[in-house]
């Protein structure tokens, strides 16, 4: 059965970035990132501020739709989880995401490939998250429950940050293949969206 596919590009641009620049950026993002890097049938996002492009992230739709808890996309799910399961943006802890770039640099080589196993990366990120004093855990939660929730949140965040490409096999069937890289821009996009672009 042939299903329709779509590659899409979203540019979150500051109001002072000229519209023609945003349009050209969106076309490049669609062609070079959503279609070429992610392998088509993918979503690519960029944040463009007056100083230039701040982040670039992409993911095949098939991976974006692998969600837990009935959320529309993986991005929606991760946003909800890190808002402490709330729709209130004030519940979002941005310090962890701000430090994520430094942490990811320690965990990856120059090409963004992981230097540690998936489990080791998850353990490091969970430790960073648990050390963050901004996280507002419910008072009735014991340490074990907090750790369990931290593991779940970090696992889903790493799913969002794991780079993947959509490939077509010899029989014409698509398959999603992890590239072995982590893209911190997935975490930074979550931070940007949680703060509604205000930082």
Domain regions of the chain by residue span:
8-194
**Which H, E and C letters describe 48-103, residue by residue?**
EECCEEEEEEEEEHHHHCCCCCCCCCHHHHHHHHHCCCCCCHHHCCCHHHHHHHHH
Kindly tell me if the per-residue pLDDT of 21 is higher than 70.
yes
Give the predicted TM-score (pTM) of the model: 0.89
The model's pLDDT over 61-102, given as tens digits with 9 standing for 90+, comes to: 999 999 998 899 999 999 988 886 656 555 567 788 888 888
């Amino acid at each position: 059965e042939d299903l329709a596919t779509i590659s899409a590009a979203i540019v979150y641009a500051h109001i002072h970035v000229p519209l023609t620049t945003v349009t050209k950026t969106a076309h490049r993002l669609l062609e070079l990132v959503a279609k070429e890097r992610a392998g088509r049938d993918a979503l690519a996002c960029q944040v463009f501020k007056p100083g230039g492009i701040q982040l670039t992230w992409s993911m095949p739709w098939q991976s974006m739709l692998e969600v837990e808890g009935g959320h529309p996309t993986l991005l929606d799910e991760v946003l909800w989880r890190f808002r402490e399961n709330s729709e209130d943006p004030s519940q979002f802890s941005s310090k962890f995401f701000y430090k994520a770039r430094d942490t990811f640099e320690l965990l990856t080589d120059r090409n963004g490939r992981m230097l540690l196993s998936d489990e080791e990366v998850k353990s490091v990120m969970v430790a960073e998250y648990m050390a963050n004093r901004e996280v507002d855990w419910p008072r009735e939660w014991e340490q074990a429950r907090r750790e369990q929730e931290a593991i779940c949140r970090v696992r889903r965040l790493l799913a969002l940050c794991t780079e993947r490409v959509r490939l077509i096999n010899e029989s014409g069937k698509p398959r999603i293949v992890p590239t072995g890289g982590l893209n911190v821009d997935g975490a930074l996009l979550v931070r940007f969206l949680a703060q509604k672009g205000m930082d």
